[in-house]
């Protein structure tokens, strides 16, 4: 009767251990309940809503084969992308290590011994496969955590690709726009210098006051200072592009002109929930929260008992151990249970890590929603401002052309059309800047919508 009670006690103890172990290796994860609106705060009825932005190679709408080629090339060599792939490989190796932990280690012996504890075997060999403190619950928990880590690193790769595409495209068009602006400023400088020469001659003749010449000279100095800044911007843009392509600083041969690009594209967007599902950084933040929850289970499962299993078999050149010198196989199977008080400190630490991951997830989600709403406003605003500035440029150009025709007929003097010509120069520079703003806001919108990182045209990478 006592034996039966003892076995029942052992049986129920094992059941309790297993149930407790299941709760430790699989801690409950509850996805944060973040309220997401059905629509954006910025309302634009002309927006075309899409859902497949990750697969949309949006930069191809610029019809620039050189840009397409450089993006593909950059994704293969960019260091940030390569580091993300390296972290993924590390995570995959860690997962494999956990999977291989289920296979017992083995010690092989061969040699000569006269140790009496071994029965004076002389020459012998043997094998000793064993599990050293096999904690089944801990291994299961480690496997779940390692799997989540691989998933997190996959999202990190997608996020790195998305960031590279946006950074490179922005740098590409910044370089083209600044190169064009340099040409426009040089043309403006030439016209303004000519105007300064004309006014200086008029001053020498007493036709205009000195203030007129001083005003023009002031504009010349300001414009020359602006030109130097543009040259620096071009150099920085080149270096940024070379850096993204894993190259040393230097010139980059780009055989297209900024004026050839159209910037009038339809308003695009996606529903807030769709954006969150498309953004790899949001998926990464949630996976890191799940991983932090699971890591607490990895630590807690160390409080559960482990199993010691081993088996030894061998043979010697004497028959002291049985027929033909074969050792009688030796087997060990027992529970080991050791509790390290430091584990409770680690549990507390991972509790803090979980709270950090939770706050980070909320921050990423709120930031994603904020960024897209701002992008929609900025994109619409830049398009509207472009229309206004373009009308101003066309008006200035029309006035100059009309007066130039009158000048050629001898109706008005050359001085009268120089002001119009300078006005056209200024309008061209303003148009260049608003066009660049259009590009950057459009790129930012596509990036924040999670566009292009998994497009079919990049699958080979």
pTM score: 0.85
Judged on CB neighbours under 10 Å (0-12, 13-18, 19+), 289 is buried
If 0-12 CB within 10 Å is exposed, 13-18 middle and 19+ buried, where does residue 375 land?
buried
Residue that is written with structure tokens 């980070």 in the block: 360
Long-range CB contacts (within 8 A, 24+) of 410-418: 414/198, 415/198, 418/191, 418/194, 418/195, 418/198
- Which pLDDT belongs to residue 176? 97
Q: Using alpha carbons only, what angle is made at residue 280 by residues 277 and 282, rounded to the nearest 5 degrees? A: 65
> Which pLDDT score is estimated for 19?
47
Burial environment of residue 122 by CB neighbours within 10 A (0 to 12, 13 to 18, 19 or more): middle
Q: What is the pLDDT of residue 315?
A: 62
- pLDDT at residue 17 in the model: 47
Full pLDDT tens readout for the chain, 461 residues? 544 554 444 444 444 444 444 545 566 777 888 888 888 887 777 777 788 889 999 999 999 999 999 999 999 999 999 999 999 999 999 999 888 878 777 776 666 666 665 555 666 666 666 666 777 888 888 889 899 999 999 999 999 999 999 999 999 999 999 999 999 999 999 999 999 998 888 778 887 788 888 898 999 999 999 999 999 999 999 999 999 999 999 888 888 999 988 887 778 888 889 999 999 999 999 999 999 888 887 777 777 777 766 666 666 655 544 555 555 566 666 666 777 777 777 777 778 888 999 999 999 999 999 999 999 999 999 999 999 999 999 999 999 999 999 989 888 888 889 999 999 999 999 999 999 999 999 999 999 999 999 987 776 54
CA–CA separation, 138 and 306 (whole Å): 9
Confidence at residue 309, expressed as pLDDT on a 0 to 100 scale: 66
Q: What does the pLDDT read at residue 303? A: 77
Say what the pLDDT of residue 404 is: 92
Q: Which two tokens stand for residue 9?
A: 């006690």
Burial class (CB in 10 A: 0-12, 13-18, 19+), 301: buried
CA–CA dist 365, 355 (Å, integer):
16
Domain ranges (residues) in the chain:
2-458
CA distance 149 to 425: 56
The verdict on domain 2-458 having CATH code 1.10.3300.10 is: no
Alpha carbon distance 428, 448 (integer Å)? 30
> Residue 91, Cβ neighbours under 10 Å: how many?
20
Strand extents, DSSP E, 328-460: 330-336
User: What b/e sequence results for 306-334 when a residue is b if at least 16 CB atoms lie within 10 Å of its CB, and e otherwise?
Assistant: beebbbbebebeeeebeeebebeeeeeee
In the prediction, which pLDDT does 125 show?
64
């Amino acid at each position: 009767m006592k034996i039966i009670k003892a076995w029942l006690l052992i049986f129920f103890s094992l059941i309790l251990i297993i149930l407790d172990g299941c709760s430790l290796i699989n801690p409950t994860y509850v996805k944060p309940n973040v309220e997401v609106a059905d629509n954006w705060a910025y309302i634009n009825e002309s927006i075309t809503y899409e859902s497949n932005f990750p697969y949309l190679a949006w930069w191809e709408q610029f019809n620039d084969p050189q840009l397409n080629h450089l993006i593909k090339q950059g994704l293969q060599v960019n260091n940030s992308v390569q580091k993300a792939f390296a972290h993924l490989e590390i995570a995959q190796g860690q997962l494999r290590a956990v999977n291989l932990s289920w296979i017992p280690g083995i010690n092989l012996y061969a040699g000569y011994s006269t140790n009496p504890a071994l029965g004076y075997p002389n020459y012998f060999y043997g094998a000793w496969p064993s599990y050293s403190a096999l904690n089944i619950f801990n291994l299961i928990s480690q496997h779940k955590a390692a799997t989540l880590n691989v998933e997190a690193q996959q999202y990190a790769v997608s996020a790195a690709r998305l960031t590279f595409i946006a950074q490179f495209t922005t740098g590409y068009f910044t370089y083209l726009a600044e190169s064009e602006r340099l040409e426009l400023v040089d043309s403006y400088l030439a016209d303004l210098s000519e105007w300064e020469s004309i006014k200086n001659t008029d001053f020498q003749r007493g036709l205009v006051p000195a203030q007129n010449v001083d005003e023009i000279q002031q504009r010349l100095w300001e414009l020359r200072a602006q030109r130097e800044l543009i040259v620096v911007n071009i150099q920085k843009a080149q270096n940024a592009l070379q850096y993204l392509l894993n190259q040393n600083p230097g010139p980059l041969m780009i055989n297209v002109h900024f004026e050839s690009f159209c910037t009038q594209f339809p308003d695009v967007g996606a529903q807030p929930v769709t954006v969150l599902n498309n953004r790899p950084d949001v998926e990464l933040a949630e996976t890191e929260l799940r991983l932090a929850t699971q890591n607490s289970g990895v630590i807690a499962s160390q409080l559960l008992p482990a199993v010691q299993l081993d088996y030894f078999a061998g043979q010697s050149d004497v028959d002291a151990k049985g027929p033909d010198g074969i050792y009688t196989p030796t087997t060990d199977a027992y529970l080991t249970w050791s509790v390290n008080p430091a584990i409770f400190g680690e549990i507390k630490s991972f509790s803090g890590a979980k709270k950090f991951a939770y706050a980070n997830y909320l921050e990423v989600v709120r930031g994603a929603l904020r960024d897209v709403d701002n992008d929609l406003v900025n994109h619409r605003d830049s398009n509207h401002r472009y229309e206004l500035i373009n009308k101003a440029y066309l008006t200035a150009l029309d006035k100059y052309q009309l007066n130039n025709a009158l000048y050629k007929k001898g109706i008005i003097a050359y001085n009268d059309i120089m002001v119009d010509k300078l006005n056209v120069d200024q309008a061209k520079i303003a148009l260049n800047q608003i066009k660049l703003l259009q590009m950057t806001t459009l790129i930012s919108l596509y990036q924040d919508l999670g566009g292009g990182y998994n497009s079919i045209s990049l699958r080979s990478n």
